[in-house]
Chain A
Amino acid sequence: MEIPYTRTNRPDTGLFNAKIGIWLFLASEVMLFGGLFSSYIFLRVGADYHWPVHELTLWPGFVNTIVLIVSSVTVVMAWANLKMRKIAQYKLCMWVTIICAGVFMCLKAYEYNGKFHHIGVKLTDGTILTGHFPEEGYRVKLKGGSTVTLNLQTADPAYFLKWCVTPNPQFKTEAGQPQPLDQQGALMAFIDALVPGDHDSSSLGQLRRDAAAKDQKSVKLTATAPLEFAVKESKTFSHTATSITFRDGTVVEGASVEDKMTLQVDKVDVRSSLDEDKALAWHYLGDEWKKAFEEHSKEEAESHKKFDPRDERYLRHVKQMEIHAPTVAEHNTQHGGKHSAEAHAPGEEHAAGGHAAHYPEIVIDRKDVAFWSSFTPKWNTYYAIYFTLTGLHGMHVVAGALVLFYFLVFDGRRLKEDPEHLANRVEVGGLFWHFVDLVWIFLFPLLYLL
């Protein structure tokens, strides 16, 4: 049995099967990205914050645009060369295309990585500070930890123990028996100990049901020595002055909880501040930086006189300032010629850590922070759509490159025996590749430039 029209065109439609197939597939891809672009429009039109413009570092996006254009040329040349049976050129062009895809993805990874480590902090008065955390990141700290309450239905001892800084923590039950929690399989042993009795099957569910039958919901353990915790905030549910509740329901109580956030600031944005004169930022950064900011504002206002002061572009220049040095004095000397606030996102080029030398470091009370996040989808809807669009596009790049790689490396027999069929396949793969380029042609200006 042979399927007709895999190599040759059907006379009345003038097309071979795969050609119809790929165009239909691309039509659905148009709808997919169409849906995403219309989401972009909807979110941007309805945004209730200052939509970032020229905020991303330009050069990786720019280079990637060129890289994709080059690969588009080479992939169509690969097809033409294969049609002409110039095999060496065909292979060369295919390799260049695949390498371009590799370069594209490397730059993408570099860009993403920078954003994962760059932090935005929105203070309660609307002022936004961006910057970096010191090496270990931001942690909620608890000192003198004494008791732990574990919820029998949901708790997993490993979950809270991971954040205990004190080495080798020891616990005892209320009855005073030692209760180890730290070794492999501890959970089972733990629950076994909690629900004494004759378990024919040591099934977890059975044990829990036994506990439920006794109406026992949780169990309290006491630390044999005071413990210290430093917890990632996303692992906690809530905390008070003396206790932290973890996401699995475990509650750790101690002497005190300290919740402060250390930030190495690289930008101040007062566009949404309630009162920029009394912005909370100045409480932390100090008057000198405030003065520097005011000077910067005046300067920028002067050179953007032609704008209405409500214009986004005016605000973008005048109400934001990048910081390039740990002290105002150094900042001013570096701040020589006219500095474009938008040429790149500050600090994104640096990997995590090692920023203390470059930026002023402040310690913020957590109660003054309304919201904080790295520059991931959480930060705002712009970054959310940025990651969704570029992430999905990146997956298309990888998929396209894999398909072309397959044709190039694993389809050698077809190249010898049936090059015309292989040419059809390369054409179809190429069509997909061009589509990927076409999407980027819109993505680049929408996300990086406008």
Chain B
Amino acid sequence: MAHDNHDDLSKHVKTYMKIGGWLIFFTFVTVGLSFVELPTHGDNLLVGMALAAFKATLVGLIFMHLNHERSLIYKVLLFTLVFVVGLFVLIYLSGQNPLHFGGFEGVTPGH
């Protein structure tokens, strides 16, 4: 980034350290929460992944400067994201069959 001058940068350095601190803090939170048994294990997974996604966003935005990048980079990443999500969702769904009759509620165990 050609526009960064020295003052800006030393301010940035402080931000970097602060964000690093937060990331470590959230790591503790993640570990702690994994020992709390929420109603279902799925809830635990959800919370854990949400926290991880949040941490990843911090890294992306601040450390990788995605908070002020050129539109071209955003476009590339947007498509990549769409395809990864497609990969996840479609592979996951094709393992399930939504038209499959799973029995009446409470009758089939484990659902």
Q: Is A20's CB under 8 angstroms from B72's CB?
A: yes
Give 7 pairs: A residue, B residue, CB < 8 Å, sorted on A. A24-B76, A66-B27, A434-B63, A435-B64, A437-B59, A446-B49, A450-B41
Bound CA span A66–B6, Å: 29
CB distance from A304 to the nearest CB of B (A): 9
Chain A residues within 8 Å of B63, by CB: 72-73, 76, 430, 434, 437
Q: Which residues of B contact A (CB under 8 A)?
A: 2, 4, 6, 9-10, 12-13, 16-17, 19-20, 23-24, 27, 30-31, 34, 37, 41, 44-45, 48-49, 51-52, 55-56, 59-60, 63-64, 70, 72-73, 76-77, 79-81, 83-84, 87-88, 91-92, 95, 109-110
Given A53-B41, A310-B110, A450-B34, check contact A37 B16 (CB 8 Å).
Answer: no
Q: Which residue of A lies closest to B34 (CB)?
A: A449
How far is A445 from B91 in the complex, measured between Cα atoms in Å? 22
A359 to B64, CA, bound (A): 50
Q: B70 contacts which of A15, A58, A76, A431 (Cβ < 8 Å)?
A: A15
Cβ–Cβ < 8 Å partners of B13 in chain A? 77, 80-81
Chain A residues close to B by CB (< 8 Å): 8-9, 13-15, 19-20, 23-24, 27, 30-31, 34-35, 37-38, 41-42, 45-46, 53-54, 58, 62, 65-66, 69-70, 72-73, 76-77, 80-81, 83-84, 307, 310-313, 430-431, 434-435, 437-438, 441-442, 444-446, 449-450
Contact: A13 with B41, CB < 8 Å?
no
> Cβ of B41 and Cβ of A84 under 8 Å apart?
no
Residue among B23, B95, B110 making CB contact with A42, cutoff 8 Å: B95
The answer to whether B109 and A310 have CB atoms under 8 Å apart is yes
Q: Are B73 and A15 in contact (CB under 8 A)?
A: yes
Is the pair B95, A46 in contact by a Cβ cutoff of 8 Å?
yes
- Chain B residues with CB under 8 Å of A430's CB are 63
Contact B73 A445 (CB under 8 A): no
> 3 nearest interchain CB pairs?
A449-B34, A73-B20, A34-B84
Tell whether, in the assembled complex, residue B10 and residue A31 are in contact, meaning their CB atoms are under 8 Å apart.
no
CB of B99, distance to nearest CB on chain A (Å): 18
Residue from B27, B70, B88 in contact with A34 in the complex, judged by beta carbons closer than 8 Å: B88
Is B59 a contact partner of A31 (Cβ separation < 8 A)?
no
CB pair A69–B52 under 8 Å, yes or no, is no
Q: Which residues of B contact A58 (CB under 8 A)?
A: 31
Query: A45 touches which one: B6, B19, B52, B95 (CB < 8 A)?
Result: B95
CA distance A86 to B12 in the complex (A): 15
Q: Judging by beta carbons under 8 Å apart, are B30 and A27 in contact?
A: no
**Is the pair A80, B9 in contact by a Cβ cutoff of 8 Å?**
yes
Which residue on A lies nearest to B4, using beta carbons?
A83
DSSP majority for the B interface? helix
A77, B16: Cβ atoms closer than 8 Å: yes
Taking a contact as CB atoms under 8 Å apart, the answer to whether A70 and B20 are in contact is yes
Complex CA distance for A9 and B72, rounded to whole angstroms: 13
Kindly provide the distance from the CB of A162 to the nearest chain B CB, expressed in whole angstroms: 44
Q: Is the CB of B20 within 8 A of A72?
A: yes
Residues of the A chain whose Cβ atoms lie less than 8 Å from the Cβ of B27: 62, 65-66, 69, 444
Contacts A24-B76, A73-B63, A445-B52 given; 11 further ones with Cβ under 8 A?
A19-B73, A23-B77, A76-B63, A77-B16, A80-B16, A310-B110, A311-B41, A313-B41, A437-B59, A445-B34, A449-B30
> How far is it, in angstroms, between the C-alpha of A230 and the C-alpha of B3 when the chains are bound?
71
Shortest Cβ gap from A4 to chain B (Å): 16
The docked-state distance in angstroms from the alpha carbon of A66 to that of B91 is 33
In angstroms, Cα B92 to Cα A46, docked, is 10
Smallest Cβ-Cβ distance to B94: which chain A residue? A42
Contacts of B52 in A (CB 8 A): 441-442, 444-445
Which of A20, A73, A80, A442 interacts with B19 by CB under 8 Å?
A: A73
Q: Bound complex: CA of A65 vs CA of B95, how far in Å?
A: 32
User: A62 near B31 (CB under 8 angstroms)?
Assistant: yes
Chain A neighbourhood of B95, CB < 8 A: 42, 45-46
Within 8 Å CB of A441, what residues of B?
52, 55-56, 59
